[in-house]
Chain A
Amino acid sequence: MRTLNQFFSKIREINQRYAKPTVEMSRGVKFSLAVLRIYLFLLVVLMIYKFITVIKVV
């Protein structure tokens, strides 16, 4: 239990340490990150769809 607490406090510490991105958020960077989010979202949707269809067949 203690080890688990230490682990989660480490995660919180990491989240705090890297809470603020240091890269300059120019238009290009913001656009790239937005496109990346959409791309990954679509990919995850495809994977979930595939998973559901495989489960249905099984």
Chain B
Amino acid sequence: MDFFSLLYFRFKKVWKAVRLYLVIAGPGLVVMIADNDAGGITTYAATGAKYGYHLIWFLLLLIPIAYYVQEMTVRLGAVTKRGHAEAIFESFGAFWGWFSLLDLMIVDWLTLVTEFVGMTSALSIFGVPAWMTVIFVILLMGMVVLNGRYWTWEKIALGFCLLNLIYIPAAFMVNPSMADIVGQGLIPNLPGGLTNELFFLLMANIGTTIAPWMLFFQQSSVVDKGLLEKDIKMGKVDTFIGSVITVAVAVFVVIVTGTLLHGVPIDDAATAAKMLMQTNHYIGAFMAIGLFNAGLLGAICISLASSWAFGEIFGWAHSLNTKVKEAPWFYISFFITLVTAGIVPLIPGAPLVLITLFVQVVAVTLLPAALVFLILLLNDKKTMGEYANTPFQNIVSTTIVGGIIILSTMYGVSALFPNIFQ
């Protein structure tokens, strides 16, 4: 075979793999990029403003952590054809099933409220009143979800994911020093030592990277898309690319705030956007648009995670491939969650700070349970067969899950008792 024939053969092979990936791609990318929700963007903005580029190395460590946890849901969904809620009910019985389902419902609803807070505050920068933002978001999400096809929903969601990359041009526009990014950001260091404040921020970054709804969402999404055992390999690639993109976006947010707002105390991303607007109008606008999009993407996925879980357990039709007539309860539960959460930021004097605190605490009760169930399910050889965890995967996933449980518990407890670790 001559050189050109070999080159053509190789190209055909790679192109075939790319086309296969484009068919399978979706659940991993959407869940990972939606992970950079309004709360996530706020955490990254605060990280950059407080510690500059110094914690970029820590964010990079989150790539394998996010990947290893989420790829387990791909295998579980593709092999069992069941969502995470149904898998817990069936494998561990009704007690653990109800615990997970009710906890998921509470934590999803509270997180959804924080997404609406992020979206309303982002658009308020452009003078859009909060009530208008809420109505616009509910109508937009209704149009996205009610089209009756999973495929269409997924492609629209991927479009919103693309908008999440808006932080990349923003980071280039601030002209950061590459030498500083490499010198300060890529060499592991703890600026000022391991203080309580730094520890809290590190835990917040982990907490925003691995959230309970992500496990439920991706597994249900894999089932709804109809991925099979043969698709697991590409599903893993999809999850890996998603985890790289999600951390890349986080790094670019840190670069933006680390360059322009280093040393400025920031409570939320909307405040950061307002401050950035004073320096450079476009960068501030990018930040605000990115925050709105992050909240929207988070809201799309979180509200679906709950509806899928309820559908699985109550036996309702629960697929985006169904019309409203065929799956009324699936769509009713979706809109009830969405509308009730959207109303909260419009209530004058609503306890939004308390809600944010509750999200952290309630998530801590669900996350360890969901992660432990995940590992136990992946070790059930009777169900998983050749796709069960290997000893190496068990060592890696158990170490990661153990670390996440300890850190998220400390995060939740320190949210309840702010001075406990001082």
* Chain A residues at the B interface, C-beta cutoff of 8 Å: 10, 14-15, 18-24, 28-29, 32-33, 36, 39-40, 43-44, 46-47, 50
Contacts and interface: CB of A to CB of B under 8 A. Distances in A.
17 contacts: A10-B314, A18-B89, A18-B93, A19-B94, A21-B91, A21-B92, A23-B376, A24-B380, A36-B372, A39-B368, A39-B409, A40-B99, A40-B369, A43-B364, A46-B416, A47-B416, A50-B416
B43 interface: no
Nearest to B382: A24
Contact of A47 (B96, B361, B369, B377): B361
Contacts of A50: 416-417
Nearest to A50: B416
Contacts of B364: 43
A22 B90 contact: yes
A33 B90 CA distance: 15
Interface of B: 89-94, 96-97, 99, 313-314, 361, 364-365, 368-369, 372, 376-377, 379-380, 382, 409, 412-413, 416-417
A19 B93 contact: yes
B207 to A, nearest CB: 15
Given A43-B364, A46-B416, A47-B361, A23 B92 contact: yes
A8 B380 CA distance: 32
Contacts of B89: 14, 18
Identify whether the interface residues of A are mostly helix, strand, loop, or mixed.
Answer: helix
Identify whether the interface residues of B are mostly helix, strand, loop, or mixed.
Answer: helix
Given A18-B93, A32-B372, 7 more contacts: A14-B94, A18-B97, A22-B90, A22-B91, A24-B380, A36-B368, A43-B364
Contacts of A43: 364-365, 409, 412
A56 to B, nearest CB: 15
Contacts of A15: 94
B92 A33 contact: yes
Contacts of B382: 24
A29 B376 contact: yes
Contacts of A23: 91-92, 376-377, 380
A19 B368 CA distance: 23
B96 to A, nearest CB: 8
Nearest to B412: A43
A43 B55 CA distance: 30
Most buried by A among B99, B361, B382, B416: B416
A40 B417 contact: no
Contacts of B379: 28
B91 A32 contact: no
Nearest to B86: A18
B368 A21 contact: no
Contacts of B376: 23, 28-29, 32
A46 B413 contact: yes
A40 to B, nearest CB: 6
A14 B416 contact: no
Contacts of B314: 10, 14
A24 B92 CA distance: 9
Nearest to A25: B92
Contacts of A28: 376, 379
Contacts of B94: 14-15, 18-19
Contacts of A24: 380, 382
A33 B382 CA distance: 19
A8 B368 CA distance: 29
Nearest to A51: B416
Nearest to A43: B365
A53 to B, nearest CB: 9
Given A21-B93, A46-B413, A14 B313 contact: yes
B374 to A, nearest CB: 11
B287 to A, nearest CB: 34
